[in-house]
Structure 1
């Protein structure tokens, strides 16, 4: 696990990697199944494809409905920006030019299995976290630190879930 950045304007990032004893195609089938994502996340409750989309492709859009004890409930629109089976899948949240976050899975064949990484970047676009920072600017670094730790934990749990399913 690693993460960089201390302030929201720094567009902090987090990345977690794991090795999975399964071929990339098997792992890809799980990673690219957006409908499966809510089962791997405590925060993401459901997704729905919009704009006539029914599955991942560059330009496809889906809405994610999320819930967090401290942040409440919200929905975000995600736009798939990279889709290269079986190695790369990424989406930008909300505004394509100034996203509130970017999420990316990367798969690489390694040692008879697959190295899977999930990476995310917070910002640069304003998100719900921005409003908390506006209310308590003196606590920005702590707010960002806590949220990035939550993302790290969530990513770790997601990768463990994918690993378990792929190796089953």
Structure 2
């Protein structure tokens, strides 16, 4: 079971949804927390690609680094964040003529001590931050749905 999980049904094919979610550089269009994403020089989108996100929550801004750890076209994209060890996944499932898109956040290795300290010190603790992340996941999925169905 995932730490966090949100799903949405999209009236578009898995190929169309994959076109959107597989390009991590488009994350600022979807996520309310990500303000920019840059693919590391020398990498193409795919397994092993490394990228940097600039994030914002309220007045706070921070940078994270990630690597794509699963890249299964039209099925699953996962990336692991170096700073906190979290694995974020977009999973696509054909659903009739549409797609069920699920976003998860897993922490199989726990969270880094640095992440815990920063979350407690700047975001009011783990529970409030998890609520913020869950709301952001739903907003992300709604934005992807709107783009896919446009």
TM-score class, shorter-chain normalisation, is 0.7 to 0.9
- The answer as to whether partners of 2:6 and 2:137 remain within 8 angstroms in 1 is yes
Instruction: State the SS of the aligned residue for 1:145.
Output: helix
1:36 corresponds to: 26
2:50 corresponds to: 61
- The answer as to whether partners of 1:100 and 1:127 remain within 8 angstroms in 2 is no
Cα distance in 2 for partners of 1:34, 1:131 equals: 25
Q: List, as ranges, runs of 4+ consecutive aligned residues in structure 1 with deviation greater than 6 Å.
A: none
Normalised to the residue count of structure 1, the TM-score between the two structures is 0.79
1:120 corresponds to: 105
Q: Which shows bigger deviation, 124-133 or 21-30?
A: 124-133
Q: Report the count of equivalent residues.
A: 148
Q: Which shows bigger deviation, 41-50 or 21-30?
A: 41-50
C-alpha deviation, 1:17, in angstroms: 0.7
Instruction: State the SS of the aligned residue for 1:36.
Output: helix
2:82 corresponds to: 94
- The answer as to whether partners of 1:107 and 1:114 remain within 8 angstroms in 2 is yes
C-alpha deviation, 1:34, in angstroms: 1.2
Cα distance in 2 for partners of 1:110, 1:132 equals: 37
RMSD: 2.3
1:159 corresponds to: 141
Please list the CA deviations of residues 28-52 of structure 1 after superposition, one character each: whole Å capped at 9, or x if unmatched.
0011121211022221110111141
- Structure 1 alignment gaps of length 5 or more: 5-11, 137-141
Larger Rg: 1
